Chains A and B, each alone.
Chain A
Amino acid sequence: MSELIRLVNCVMAFDDVTVLNSINLTIKDKEFLTLLGPSGCGKTTTLRIIGGFEVPTSGDVFFDNVRINDVPPYRRRVNTVFQRYALFPHLNVFENVAFGLRVAKVPKADIERRVRESLDLVGLRGYDKRASHQLSGGQQQRVAIARAIVNHPQVLLLDEPLGALDLKLRKEMQIELKRIQQQVGITFVYVTHDQEEALTMSDTVVVMNDGVIQQIGTPVDIYNEPKNAFVADFIGESNIVPGVMHRDCEVSFAGRVFRCVDTGFAPDEPVDVVIRPEDVRLSPPEEGQLDGEVLSVTFKGVHYEMMVRARDFTWMIHSTASEPVGARVGLSVRPFDIHIMHRAEKTEAAS
């Protein structure tokens, strides 16, 4: 896959408030890249810079190795699916989808054909005469997608496109979007705050916080090897406890020493220890590495979520078996499920 878009040291400031701090990002051709982060992290601003709606305060944007900082949106080979769809209320479905083609003065017969093709692609055959306000949220969403891809852009930008849909529809659309992306074979840049959505659809996930990129990687990398405590906490749920790295593969936290697989820390370096709730194993109290008391049990469908108090720290544990509230249980963690993070990065991420 070749490089398509490159952001170099992009800084964005609105009235002295820095919303993007030196963003460096390369987007490859035909990949599904997701910008993931909490609201206000700068992900939408990054998307708007690519779309041409914002000009970075400093830094450069390249498209196919051409600098496009000052190219207006209507001259970019990029189309956007807006957060609240932004369908034209005065036009019906057909005219909404045809808008870009009419502006580009595509011959009439071609418009007809291409609009039908893209309505077919999003599963809205026969809806062309409907007014946009007669459609459900999911259908409006599909029209917005059809309206963008009918122009054959090289890149499709999607700004939290599923945010307004209910859970079931959202899951359907996730699969649908992935199918559309593979079928038309173009780059998708997707913005969301939903980590599950990001992990389900993306080739590459970019985790952002406070205008800074925290980690770039495949969904598996991001989940299994979070680079810092912020990423670990944001992607899935995590127990994050302070600890001390005595030497390679040996860390102490919660009042005892554990074996782990991490190396390359300074002797006795204070660290953050991250353990996923599903990686904490329950056992009879005498068999665990730690023992504690069950504070609460919540049924979550596939698993139970238990809060267990052990040694001044409340552990979140996901397990298919449950223990009653007040029971004494043992906790243990396997060495490769213990993730060690540098402390410094946590404060940086939190600042």
Chain B
Amino acid sequence: MSRRLRLTAVPYALYALIFIVAPLLLILYYSLTTGQGTALSLDNFRRFFDPSDTVYLRVLWRSLWIAGVSTVVCFVLGYPMAYILSRMKERTRHVVSFLFILPMWMNFLLRTYAWMTLLERTGVINTVLKSLGLPPLELMYTAGAVVLGNVYNFLPFMILPIYTSLTKIDQNLIEASEDLGAGRAITFFRVVFPLSFPGIMSGFTMTFMPAVTTFIISKLLGGGQNALIGDLIEKQFKVAGDWGFGSAMSVILMVLILLSMNALSRYEKENAGGGLM
């Protein structure tokens, strides 16, 4: 690479240094402080993992669980959709994928508020039920509502990478499989599905990560009883004013995500061979 070309990377490098690296280091620093004095300690982490008071661990576990369920639901809904999309003619394909992206242009908060008006005690669904003479349902402030909000907001992040990896599959490979005696179903399970694996992996990370860290969806649709780790972190900063503990939780979450991504990419390397061609 020429020197001059390297110079063009300087603005971004500066940006990254100031707005990404420095804050990360600050968070790491805060996580090691407790507000009393400047001495560094692991107290915040001890507090989080305290075996006699597992409230934080339970919240973390619930966050992982809800994010996991949301991701699986996204996958179950998204894979067939991505597959159908990838088999469409080029033109219809563009129109339909546009329709998928369209709701993402609407404000995230607005979309979630829209769900509130549907699910509320006096919301659209319960009004319909009432007019049919049925008892109202408790839809809001449940774990299910949070999963629903996650799925609604993050489904495109599952569909698009899978769709991309499916369209990248060489049509010749599918013909080769049929040529070697495999019917539609066997071709799907032995060729198409394994080759879409990289897409599935990025779909999983792209839905799981925002789902595990979200606090808006859980706040609006989950209410107080379904607080997630994201809510907890937000509260430490904005309500409790304990930056140290909030930072420590952020660090723990970050490490967890890094570990899981690492595991995923290793799994992908071992099982998907060279990926796509």
Contacts and interface: CB of A to CB of B under 8 A. Distances in A.
B273 A103 contact: no
Given A99-B177, A103-B181, A86 B273 contact: no
Contacts of B186: 103
B214 to A, nearest CB: 34
A151 B181 contact: yes
Interface string B186-223: 10001100110100000000000000000000000000
B274 A88 contact: no
B178 A88 contact: no
Given A90-B195, A90-B273, A99-B190, A74 B172 contact: no
A73 B274 contact: no
Contacts of A52: 178
Contact of B176 (A75, A78, A80, A90): A80
Given A99-B190, A103-B190, A88 B176 contact: yes
Contacts of B177: 88, 99
A82 B108 CA distance: 48
A74 B181 contact: yes
A99 B180 contact: yes
Contacts of A151: 180-181
Contacts of A87: 176
B182 A74 contact: yes
A17 interface: no
B272 to A, nearest CB: 6
Interface in A79-93: 79-80, 82-84, 86-92
Given A51-B179, A74-B182, 5 more contacts: A53-B175, A86-B170, A86-B175, A88-B173, A148-B179
**A-B interface, 4 closest residue pairs, ranked by CB to CB distance from nearest:** A100-B180, A86-B172, A86-B176, A133-B274
6 contacts: A73-B178, A74-B181, A90-B195, A99-B177, A131-B274, A133-B274
Interface of A: 51-53, 72-75, 78-80, 82-84, 86-92, 99-100, 103-104, 131-133, 147-148, 151
